[in-house]
Amino acid sequence: MILVTGGAGFIGANFVLDWLAEAGEPVVNLDKLTYAGNMENLAALADDGRHIFVRGDIGDRVLLDGLLAQHQPRAIVHFAAESHVDRSIHGPGEFIRTNIEGTFTLLEAVRAHWGGLAEAERHDFRFLHVSTDEVYGSLGPRDAPFAETNAYQPNSPYSASKAASDHLVRAYHHTYGLPTLTTNCSNNYGAYQFPEKLIPLVIANALAGKPLPIYGDGMNVRDWLYVGDHCAAIRAVLTRGRTGETYNIGGWNEMPNLVIVKTICALLDELRPDAAGPRERLIAFVKDRPGHDRRYAIDARKIERELGWRPTETFETGIRKTVRWYLEHQDWVAHVQSGAYRDWVEKNYGARQ
């Protein structure tokens, strides 16, 4: 049995589905079901006895103690986090509560549980913390990609809160001996991603004939990682990673945002043509967001060297799978585009026109 936090969100749900398909080991899935947590992501597991869903907050110590005592998980995979930079700019408080205070509460509960295990179980136990490349800050055009040894230089409330949680996890390993692992990944994309993030937002807007908002000049560069590859990497780290270590997970796919948007437009034009013409006509440049990091890039050689993991999807194959998934799951998209979601999009992008 493993315990997954945030397993109804985008990456967490993909991981739970992947884990049960590949490993088959039962999962206790703890998720608060905030705006980005969606039980429809887990609909395929509705009758699967290996999946135990619990709605709850990682900041609830009593709940955590009860779950750990009842299910005795051999590992924790910690996804639960607020993760959208723009939301952190508008309202940083929730990012501090969830990403820092929530991770602290979880670490305290797990430390108490782990301390009571028999010696062999303590030795085999793992706490895997899933984080982001944004903790490293921003790169110049010719800078080397982020390695695990890079200094932390977070530039948004979101990345600062994740950096703090990374430091807490590291401290619990070095101070208390808790067998932790940390992964820092690049931008994920794929099925079940909430449509506030670039790729699903562009797909949804393009299909609806709405403007495709691009910050600044569109030349901010990101490394793109297909979520299925990310799930495989996490399985590798959990199984074979060295405790106390950090592993960067990247897709080896650096690309400017403008190229991403044009690629999606071309795929949609191919797969679902628009009588009004090519969808690039919908591209709209909007005022850049504060503190917008110019470039991220991940050096993923350590995980390949030590654990034998490397992404299997190129951006070309991964983005085609992703666009097809959204075209084939328009009911899912319609359900997540609630009134609250439309209010958020207007709040975030409306003033930038």
What residue spans define the domains of the chain?
Answer: 2-190+224-251+291-312
Give the chain's mean pLDDT.
94
Q: Give tens-digit pLDDT for 4-56.
A: 999 999 999 999 999 999 999 999 999 998 877 888 999 999 999 999 999 99
CATH topology of domain 2-190+224-251+291-312: Rossmann fold (3.40.50)
Q: How many CA atoms lie within 13 A of 125 on its CB side?
A: 24
**CB distance 11 to 82 below 8 Å:** no
In this structure, the strands spanning 283-286 and 246-249 are unpaired
**CB distance 71 to 52 below 8 Å:** yes
Known catalytic residues are 133-134, 158
| pTM, entire model | 0.93
Above 60 in pLDDT, residue 149? yes
Q: Give tens-digit pLDDT for 314-344.
A: 999 999 999 999 999 999 998 888 645 345 4
Q: Give tens-digit pLDDT for 57-115.
A: 999 999 999 999 999 999 999 999 998 788 889 999 999 999 999 999 999 999 999 99
Q: What is the DSSP string of 228-289?
A: HHHHHHHHHHHHHPPTT-EEEE--S-EEEHHHHHHHHHHHHHHHS--TT--GGGGEEEEPPP
Q: Give tens-digit pLDDT for 103-146.
A: 999 999 999 999 999 999 999 999 999 999 999 999 999 999 99
